[in-house]
Each structure stands twice: as C-alpha cells, then as structure tokens.
C-alpha cells in the first residue's frame, strides 16, 4: 500500500468511526438511516478512496456496492421486494458508471467512456425487457425494443468505422 492510499484509507476510517459514534450518541438526528445506508456508505467509501488516492480501479466496486445499496434502500422503503425480478439488471449500469469514473480518475477517457456507456445501455435494455415481463409499469417499458435498435446501431457504427484502413 502506498503512502497516499494509507493516509486516505486511515482518514476515511476515522471519519466513518466518528459518524457512526455520532449516530449512536444522537440517534434522533439519524432516524432516517436504515440498514441499506451502510451498504451505500461502503460503496461511497470505495468511490471516495478512488478519487482521493488516484486509483481509478476502486471506482468499479464502489459503484456496484453503492448501487446495490440504493436498490436495497428502494426495496426496503417501498416493500417492493419482488422488483428484484428485473431490478438486478441495473448492476451492469453500476459497473459502467464505475468504469467511466475510473477512467476519469486515471485520465484515460476514450475507452472507459465507450465501454461504460455500452454497459449502461445493455443494462437499460435488460432492465426494461425484464421489467416489461415482470411488473414494471407498461408506460415505462413500452419502448424498450428501441434500446435494442440503438445498441445495434452503435455496434454497427463501431464495426464500420473502427477497422484499420490500409494506405492507398
């Protein structure tokens, strides 16, 4: 572990400890906290650590964990646990977001951006397709096949324009 990463990690742990201590001492001020907040918080710790230490690879697990925590918070809040039949399809989008954030942190933009956006689009197709069949509102899911068209067009354009050109 390099020095910068150790400093960032130690600082985050101290701040988290103080936050949890404050929650125990003043529970009335933290009544909105529910168990999924811990999962969201772990994800944000990874994201903050990635940003402060300059290690973009930490953004991917941070995005996944925070995203799953967000899903669990939504389900816990609404009681819509059966939404897991289609909401799991958002996980590739969380990966895509992490890839994009990691690329920004690592100052490597082009490939992570296209890969991340592709994952987000694939996730949207899966989410709306499964949601269409498993209970998401029909008004929301009616046009999910259009996402397949967009994904196909992106694939065609990349294939047509990314080939190496031979000199004449």
| ∠ Cα 138 130 103 (to 5°) | 115
Considering the domain boundaries, does residue 147 fall inside one? Answer: yes
CA distance 74 to 79: 8
Taking 90 as the threshold, does the pLDDT of residue 7 lie above it? no
Single out the residue of 92, 96, 90, 101 nearest to residue 116, CA to CA: 96
**Mind listing the pLDDT tens digit for each residue in 66-102?**
999 999 999 998 998 998 988 999 999 999 999 999 9
**Alpha-carbon gap, residue 88 to 119, rounded angstroms:** 14
**Which of the listed ranges 91-95, 114-118, 153-157 does the model predict with the highest average pLDDT?**
91-95
Answer yes or no: is 19 within a domain.
no
| Contact yes or no for 99/115 (Cβ under 8 A) | yes
**pTM above 0.75?**
no
Mean pLDDT of 40-69: 90
What is the torsional sign of CA 122, 128, 133, 136? positive
What is the pLDDT at residue 92?
94
Judging by beta carbons within 10 Å of its beta carbon (0-12, 13-18, 19+), is residue 71 exposed, middle or buried? buried
Domain count, the chain: 1
Is 96 in contact with 58 (CB distance < 8 Å)?
Answer: no
With 60 as the cut, is the pLDDT of residue 166 above it? no
Q: Please report whether residue 72 resides in a domain.
A: yes
Q: What is the pLDDT of residue 72?
A: 94
Q: Is residue 22 part of a domain?
A: no
Residue 62 has pLDDT above 80, yes or no: yes
Q: Which domain holds residue 64?
A: 34-161
pLDDT level of residue 128 (50, 70, 90 thresholds): confident
Is position 83 within any domain? Answer: yes
Q: Is residue 47 part of a domain?
A: yes
């Amino acid at each position: 572990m390099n020095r910068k990463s150790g400093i960032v990690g130690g600082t985050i742990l101290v701040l988290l400890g103080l936050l949890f201590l404050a929650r125990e001492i003043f529970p009335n001020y933290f009544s909105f906290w529910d168990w999924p907040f811990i999962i969201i918080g772990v994800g944000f710790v990874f994201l903050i650590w990635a940003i402060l230490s300059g290690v973009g690879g930490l953004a991917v697990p941070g995005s996944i964990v925070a995203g799953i925590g967000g899903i669990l918070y939504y389900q816990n809040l609404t009681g819509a646990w059966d939404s897991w039949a289609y909401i799991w399809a958002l996980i590739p989008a969380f990966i895509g977001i992490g890839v994009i954030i990691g690329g920004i942190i690592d100052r490597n933009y082009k490939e992570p951006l296209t890969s991340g956006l592709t994952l987000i689009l694939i996730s949207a197709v899966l989410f709306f397709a499964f949601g269409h069949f498993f209970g998401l509102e029909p008004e929301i899911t009616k046009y999910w096949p259009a996402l397949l068209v967009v994904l196909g067009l992106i694939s065609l354009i990349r294939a047509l324009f990314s080939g190496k050109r031979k000199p004449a």
